[in-house]
Amino acid sequence: MGLSVAIVGATGAVGVEFMQVLEARGFPVDRLTLLASPRSAGSKLPFKGRDITVEVLTEDSFKGHDLALFSAGSSVSKKYRQACTDSGCLMVDNSSAFRMEDGVPLVVPEINPADAAKAFRKNGGKGVIANPNCVTIIALMAVAPLHRAIPVKRLLAATYQAASGAGHAAMVELQEGTRAALDGRPFEPKVLPLPYAFNLFPHNSPWIDAEGYCEEEIKLSKEGRKILGDPAFNASATCVRVPVLRAHSEALNIEFTAPVSPEWAYGILRSAPGVRVVEDRARNRWPMPLDVAGADDVQVGRIRTDKSQPNTLDLWVVGDQLLKGAALNAVQCAEVAFFGALAPNRR
């Protein structure tokens, strides 16, 4: 028996991916409602061979729905949370609005699926499940399986984040800015605060704290503790925006509480769900954004011993921010909540 599903922010980059993921994974949708702001109302988007008209989001939009997938920003999520849950609808939210709220599960289904299923049962099929930050998801897909075997003492991360993390408009701005740079024309950025073509810069999070960390960098540590259920988990990140259209890359330096080896890590990660080890040493070939864009799995490679620090490994992780970092993870949360298991990976 199928479900009635609503997508909030349907015309955005993640909203479009929601539809594609639902279709690709065979999620049982009987009725799909696409919701957005008034400026997008009336536009049409394809789903399973037919066009669906986008409707204006209102507090009555969730009546008769089983599931709502949100990707329209924290303010929209906060505004419509009550209307959604009061309608008996499960809310899976892609914003940062509820991630650290007590009682709201923060879920990566390959890592802590029981948190989603438990919350779903406890709340009678409604309530909220939060999707973690994309950097956190991509990093923990590799870190969590290792952490379960030998606890992580400290994680250092340098991220190389694509335009997709700032939405479709940022992707378009990167393309247009690159064309202008190649043509020698002036270009004034409007979405991102600095020139993006042939450039990179520290992440443009909304704020920087007194210690010099931006919001994006703090999320990895705070969210990691909640997802892993380990208050001792310790992480520090330097987040950088790079001129890549889609898929985030991360260089991870992981210190463990006991001796480890690359061979040990490879053995665990080769059998970890949602993870694919990719490397060809002879050709100096490792995971790249171009390979990962449009792929469900997070790719890992270049695992090596850090010779400067005992019990420490370096590794390279790349994941599609719009998929595993956002839409795919959210749909997987719904699969675990409603059906108790993930659908097979079909891509």
- 134 among known catalytic residues: yes
176 vs 178: CA distance, rounded Å: 5
Write down the residue that tokens 């279709």 correspond to: 23
65 vs 2: CA distance, rounded Å: 11
297 vs 347: CA distance, rounded Å: 9
Among candidate residues 84, 203, 248, 333, the one labeled active-site is 248
Among candidate residues 89, 134, 214, 333, the one labeled active-site is 134
305 vs 176: CA distance, rounded Å: 41
Assign 3-class secondary structure to the chain: CCEEEEEECCCCHHHHHHHHHHHHCCCCEEEEEEEECCCCCCCEEEECCEEEEEEECCCCCCCCCCEEEECCCHHHHHHHHHHHHHCCCEEEECCCCCCCCCCCCECCCCCCHHHHHHHHHHCCCCEEEECCCHHHHHHHHHHHHHHHHCCEEEEEEEEEECHHHHCHHHHHHHHHHHHHHHHCCCCCCCCCCCCCCCCCEECCCCCECCCCCEHHHHHHHHHHHHHHCCCCCCEEEEEEECCCCCCEEEEEEEEECCCCCHHHHHHHHCCCCCEEECCEHHHCECCCHHHHCCCCCEEEEEEEECCCCCCEEEEEEEECCCHHHHHHHHHHHHHHHHHCCCCCCCC
Catalytically active residues are 134, 248
